Structure formats: structure tokens, C-alpha cells
Amino acid sequence: MQGIQEKILKLDKILTIKQSSATQFLNEGITSEEIIEFFREYGLNIKNDDGLTLLYSWHNGTTTTMLPTGNFYLFPTFYFMSIEEISNTIIEYEPFYLFTESGLIPFFSSGDDYLSIAINSQQLGPEIYYSTISNTEVQDLHTSIFDSIDSMLRTITQCFEENIFRKKDFYFEISDYHQYKKIATSDNPLSKYWKLQQW
């Protein structure tokens, strides 16, 4: 089975081959020391070979502009947040999303909703949560969506490879919601989000 680093390299190759517009907005990666220190400030202790360290060594998220949000999506419908944007988001939106109170740190954004990583995932179970205050299909403020960074990357790369994430104009859309749910459910059996979807 491929490790996280191999999955990141595969995703990078896929985005290049498919000429994703997101690649031109991705920032340079930062050092392991910077990454570890940043997340430690929020109570998350990670190591050099952890998924977050590998992701942010690859790229420090995205620099967004006034272009439509879809231009920045790494996969439908989320873009990768820089550590600077994470800090600003927690400061600005904590009263609404209760990230800190819930033991979560947002690291992907749709513009309105977030993918957040759990600080105490070993105790809580799944590692990544879908955070929303607007989606009526999901009743909870935070709902588990991916069991781990590894399983998230596995789901994403497989959906690209099977053309479930299909390019339309400047962004990628989901061409087959049923198949997306099937793959995601298989890769993330502990997560609740996919069981709630009525696709």
C-alpha cells in the first residue's frame, strides 16, 4: 500500500496532467520545523512524517484572489488552506464554527464550509471532519468525513483516476455522486458523512 508521501506525489502528477488551475495558486512548501511549531500552538503535536507535515512541506496551501473559488479547488469542492489563512479563519469564525472549542483545526475550505483535522483523533476516532453552518443535509456542526489524511488522499486520487472528478472549464466537478460516495465510504468506514448523503 502506498504511503502518504507517495499519494501526495501521485496527486501532484494528476493535477499537472489534468492541467488543474489550482496548481498556479499553490504556495511553496515550508519547513517541517515551521509546520510542527504552527500546529503545536493549537494543541496538535505532529512529527516529521505525519500527514500534515508532508502536506505542508509539499505546499503551504493556496493564495486565493478575487477569482471564482472554483479556480483554487484542489478537488471538488475544497481548496488547500495556508497556515496564515488557518490562523485568520480561526480568529474570525470561531464564534460560528467553534473550531477551538471542538478540538478542530480547519485546513481545507470551500469558501463557506471546511475540512478540519481533529486534535485528539486517537481518542475521537476519525481524523477529518466536515465543518458547516449552512448544509441542511448534515445536522451536526462537525461531522466525520475522512478517517485519516491517508484515506482522504486515497479517495481523492482514485476519483481523479476514474474520472469521477471531471474537468469543466477552469475547475473540477463531481460527475458521478453515487460512485464518489461508494469509494469514499469504502475508504473511510468510520466516518459518518457518507452515510448521511442521499445521492
> How does pLDDT run across 94-111, given as a tens digit for each residue?
999 999 999 999 999 999
Let me know if residue 71 belongs to a domain. Answer: yes
Top pLDDT among 140 and 86 is at 86
Q: Is residue 192 part of a domain?
A: no
pLDDT band at 44 (very low <50, low <70, confident <90, very high): very high
Mean pLDDT of 35-41: 96
Residue 196 domain-assigned (yes or no):
no
Domain for residue 123, yes or no? yes
Q: Is residue 193 part of a domain?
A: no
**Average pLDDT, rounded, for the chain:** 93
Which residue in 34, 44, 54 sits closest to 100, CA to CA? Answer: 44
Residue 148 corresponds to which cell in the numbers above?
485519516
CA-to-CA distance for 78 and 74, rounded, in angstroms? 6
Q: What is the pLDDT of residue 82?
A: 98
In a domain, 98, yes or no: yes
Distances (CA, A) of 132 to 96, 111, 120: 9, 11, 20
Residue with cell 460560528: 96
Q: Given pLDDT bands bounded at 50, 70 and 90, which one contains residue 136?
A: low
Q: Domain of 60?
A: 4-187
Cβ atoms of residues 160 and 171 within 8 Å:
no
Residue 77: cis peptide before it, omega within 30 degrees of 0: yes
Cell numbers at 144, concatenated: 466525520
Greater confidence (79 vs 168) lies with: 79
Domain count, the chain: 1
Supply the CATH number for residue 27's domain: 3.40.1580.10
pLDDT for the residue 14: 98
Q: What integer is the mean pLDDT of 41-55?
A: 93
Quote the pLDDT of residue 138.
59
Residue 107 lies in a domain: yes
Question: Is residue 88 in some structural domain?
Answer: yes
Q: Whole-prediction pTM value?
A: 0.94
Residue 66 has pLDDT above 70, yes or no: yes
| pLDDT, mean of residues 172-195 | 97
